[in-house]
Structure formats: structure tokens, C-alpha cells
Amino acid sequence: MKTATVADLRNNFATVSKWIYDGAAVTITKRGVPFATITPVRARKTAPPIDRLSRLRKMFPSGPVKGDAQDVLDYDRGDT
């Protein structure tokens, strides 16, 4: 378990919040006396990478749309 002071929370919140985000419980001390423990709501899970190309292939199975910008907008809106 990690320990941080009230001053650490105030001055280095980004570091302390990263500890919590990474799954560590943090004991908060005030004048050397522990008075609170902050625990993560759940363990961090890594998000799957966004595969933009596969999303585009799902949206446009027949390949890229040909034409000017208005044609693309019409296609997106389903006006074609």
C-alpha cells in the first residue's frame, strides 16, 4: 500500500491519482497520522486498441466513397 500526505494530494495529485488508477490503495496521512485510505473502484483494465481501419471497412464495405464532399455527406446520411 502506498502512502501520501495531504500536501502530496494538493501538490502532486497527478502522481497520486496515477497510483490509484493503476490499482494501488493509498493511505493519506495528516501530520504523520493515517486518517484515510483511497482505493480504486475497480482494477484497471486496458482498453482494446481502436482499429480505425476495421471500423471504416464496416461503415463502407464497398470501399471508399467516390465523388465530392457533398456526395460523401449524402452517403453518410443515407440520402443516396
pLDDT in tens, 41-70: 875 566 667 788 888 788 888 877 667 777
Q: Which domains are present in the chain?
A: 2-38 (3.40.1620), 49-80 (no CATH)
Residue 2 pLDDT more than 90? yes
The whole-model pTM stands at 0.51
Give burial (CB, 10 Å; 0-12/13-18/19+) of 20. middle
CA–CA separation, 18 and 15 (whole Å): 5
CA–CA separation, 21 and 7 (whole Å): 19
pLDDT (0 to 100) of residue 80: 59
pLDDT (0 to 100) of residue 42: 74
